[in-house]
Each structure stands twice: as C-alpha cells, then as structure tokens.
C-alpha cells in the first residue's frame, strides 16, 4: 500500500493509495476516507463504484460525500473502475476497456487476464481494507451508472455480504441496452446466458433478493430511456415481490450534480443498516 495523496477533510482524512492487485494483475488506485471516529474505534465500510470513464478521483472530489461519512461514522472506499496500465487490454471507445470494467469477470480474450473487477471488489479489496485500516467486517455498497449496475449485481449475488445497496442512475437491464450489449459481448462472449450473472433485472427474475435497496433516477437524464431501463427492473421486482425504494427526480441529469444532491441521503440510508442491531 503506497500512499500517494492525503487531505484533511471534515475532521478526518481523504487518502489515495496505490497497490498491486493480484486479482487484476496491475496496480490500482483506491480513494479511502477515514472519518474522525476511527481514532477511537473500528468503523463499517461503504464501498462506492464509479461509472464509465471515471477513476477514484471523480467521487472523492465531486460527490461531497466526506461530510456525511464523518457525520454517520462510516469509512468510504472508492476504487478505480477498471484495471489500467501498460500491458492491460484497452479499446478506442470510452465504453469498453480501461475505464469501463463493468465490475464483471471477463472470460474472453484479450480481457480475461486482467478484467476481474467482480472478484476484486468482492474478495481482494475488502481483505486489503480490513487488513490495513480500522474497519469492521460490516459493509454496504453503492454506485453511479455502470457502478450502480456493479453494486446491484454484487449485492443481489451476495446478500449475505452486504447490509444494503443503493445506486444513482444505474444500468438496470444491461442485456437490453447498447452499453451492456457491447461490453458483455466483448468480455463474456456471444452466449447471452452468461450475461444474466451481471444483469440486475435477470438476477431478480432468477430469485435474487436484497432487503435494502435504494435507487435514485433523474428524469432529465439523457441515458434514462435508452440505456438505463429502470422500468424493466421495477417490473421484475414487482413480479418477484421485491420492494426496492425507487425515486424519480424531475430536472436532474446523469452528472455528479445529481449524485451530490442526494449523496447525504444515501450515506444515511446505509449507515442505518450498517449500525442496525449493534
């Protein structure tokens, strides 16, 4: 763990570390916010997954999340969105390759050697955080756009791991959207049966259940109708008697202005679940 950035923030510290990720076969950056209470006790962890083209910097500099993490006494962890570096496969488009890991385990060449973001977020990253910082094993996950997709997939497939999940403008039915079809075809191949493991709507229809789900969607989001497929997910949840809290907001778009407007409510939502029963 190599420290590359440290900033005082709301009584705590915003760090950026670099480490070699064995799962991904490359170095990765991680944004980690430690609120002031970590000086006295271990705290639960809230993992943030960012969207297409983002690094850890987008969330830690634009979301305004540190204030609420300090108020609610949760550690924030924001990894990069994909493996990066020389020797890591890439593409010329913004929605495939470096910056577009889609939080899955690729099975196709040339991606399979490095693009294992699902395993990295689920297994390697928590071990790293809990081994190096004053963190408990209690964890929740949230994200934006592609990261919202990743958060929901992780929670639906591992309900025993995460106390809660939330998302801003997530890609909810990627098998039916251009972004998802392009990424899944490249990373997972032509067999669409394998796509279901990384499609929140298909996971719900297959019986996946998470008790605590919060989704916010802006109605002026330019990707809302064509790429995000919010209603498909809502209909699947209704069919399977799952009751997520889905909120629609007039005037809001797909940007971090939207994320920053409701980030405090999301962190409060997760803190309630992370501290429940203590």
CB 53 within 8 A of CB 144: no
CB 206 within 8 A of CB 175: no
Please tell me the distance from the alpha carbon of residue 159 to that of residue 153, in angstroms, as a whole number: 10
- Please confirm whether the linkage preceding 37 is cis (ω < 30° from 0): no
CB 169 within 8 A of CB 144: yes
Structure tokens at 207: 């019986």
Q: How many CB atoms lie within 10 A of CB 219?
A: 12
CB 142 within 8 A of CB 270: yes
Please tell me the distance from the alpha carbon of residue 273 to that of residue 140, in angstroms, as a whole number: 8
Residue count (the chain): 278
Please tell me the distance from the alpha carbon of residue 187 to that of residue 97, in angstroms, as a whole number: 9
Instruction: Please give the radius of gyration of the chain, using alpha carbons only, rounded to the nearest integer.
Output: 17
Please tell me the distance from the alpha carbon of residue 125 to that of residue 41, in angstroms, as a whole number: 21
Q: How many CB atoms lie within 10 A of CB 157?
A: 18
Catalytic machinery residues: 145, 221, 254
DSSP for 134-168, written as a single string: SEEEEEEEEEETHHHHHHHHHHHH-TTT-S-EEEE
Structure tokens at 220: 């002026």
């Amino acid at each position: 763990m190599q420290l590359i950035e440290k900033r005082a923030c709301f009584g705590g510290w915003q760090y950026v570390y670099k480490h070699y990720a064995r799962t991904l076969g490359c170095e990765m950056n991680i944004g980690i916010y430690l609120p002031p209470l970590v000086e006295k006790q271990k705290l639960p962890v809230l993992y943030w997954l960012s969207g297409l083209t983002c690094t850890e910097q987008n969330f830690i500099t634009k979301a305004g999340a540190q204030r609420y993490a300090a108020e609610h006494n949760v550690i924030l962890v924001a990894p990069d969105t994909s493996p990066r570096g020389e020797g890591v496969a890439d593409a010329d488009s913004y929605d495939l390759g470096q910056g577009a890991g889609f939080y899955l385990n690729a099975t196709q060449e040339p991606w399979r050697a490095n693009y294992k973001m699902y395993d990295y977020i689920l297994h390697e990253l928590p071990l790293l955080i809990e081994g190096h910082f004053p963190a408990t094993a209690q964890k929740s996950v949230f994200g934006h756009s592609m990261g919202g997709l990743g958060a929901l997939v992780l929670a639906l497939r591992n309900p025993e791991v995460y106390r809660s999940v939330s998302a801003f403008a997530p890609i909810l039915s990627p098998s039916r959207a251009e972004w998802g079809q392009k990424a899944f075809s490249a990373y997972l191949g032509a067999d669409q049966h394998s796509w279901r493991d990384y499609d929140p709507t298909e996971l719900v229809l297959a019986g996946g259940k998470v008790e605590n789900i919060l989704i916010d969607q802006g109605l002026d989001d330019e990707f809302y109708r064509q790429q995000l497929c919010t209603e498909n997910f809502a209909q699947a949840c209704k069919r399977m008697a799952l009751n997520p809290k889905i909120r629609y907001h007039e005037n809001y778009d797909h940007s971090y202005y939207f994320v920053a407007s409701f980030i405090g409510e999301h962190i409060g939502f997760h803190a309630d679940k992370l501290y429940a029963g203590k």
